[in-house]
Amino acid sequence: MDVAHKYKKGSIGTMVLDFIQSIVLALSVFVLIYMFVAQPNEVKGSSMFPNFEDKDYLLTDKLSYRFGNPQRGDVVVFKAPVTESCAETECEYIKRIIGIPGDRIKVAGGKVYLNGELLKENYLPDGTKTSPGTYSVEGVEKVIPANQYLCFGDNRGHSRDGREFGPVTKDRIVGRAFFRYWPSKSFGLVPRVRF
């Protein structure tokens, strides 16, 4: 009886220890994935409408840009510039890359010009007008500096973006939005756009 009792106690202890080890391992894997591979993000606001809506949930690929550079058309999450309502590490924006290093970008007459040619933005609704901003002054061509990326929201009338604060450096880009997992009607890969 004593032998059976000790065995039972040992089994429960072993089971608890195995359970704790499994939890620790799972949490460690989650933390590693979150820090280096992918992280969940929630779309807040309407700056990417109609392609992304408020309360859409996305997975952001944090690994690709460690081995390559962001591309025009990528939808990226980046650390937002500091404002009164957004401290250094608090806010992240989701926007689309319009210009990469060396590109010439101009906003004129409600349109965007890339390297001297009208940018065909088929992902925007017909008739979308792009207004200038503090950085993207009407009719003035800007050259994107090395290691920087100019990002605009898809909802040009309701987006605080690179037209105001200019390009962001690569080190501020968290990653590329690649998968939408909520709402279920929009479940799937984020379409890639190239121009």
Catalytic residue among 95, 106, 136, 159: 95
Using a 10 angstrom Cβ sphere, with 0-12 exposed, 13-18 middle and 19 or more buried, the burial of residue 67 is: exposed
Q: Residue-wise over 118-153: b if at least 16 C-beta within 10 A, else e? A: ebebeebeeeeebebbebbeeeeebebeeebbbbbb
Q: What residues contact 186, with CB distance under 8 A and at least 6 apart?
A: 56, 180
Could you give the count of Cα atoms lying within 13 Å of 85 in the half-sphere of its Cβ? 2
Catalytic residue among 8, 11, 22, 47: 47
Q: Is residue 97 within 8 Å of residue 114, measured between CB atoms?
A: no
What the block records as the tokens of 142 is: 């800007």
- Determine whether 95 is an active site residue: yes
What the block records as the tokens of 66 is: 């460690």
**Degrees (nearest 5) of the Cα angle 82, 88, 92?**
80
* Residues catalogued as catalytic: 47, 95
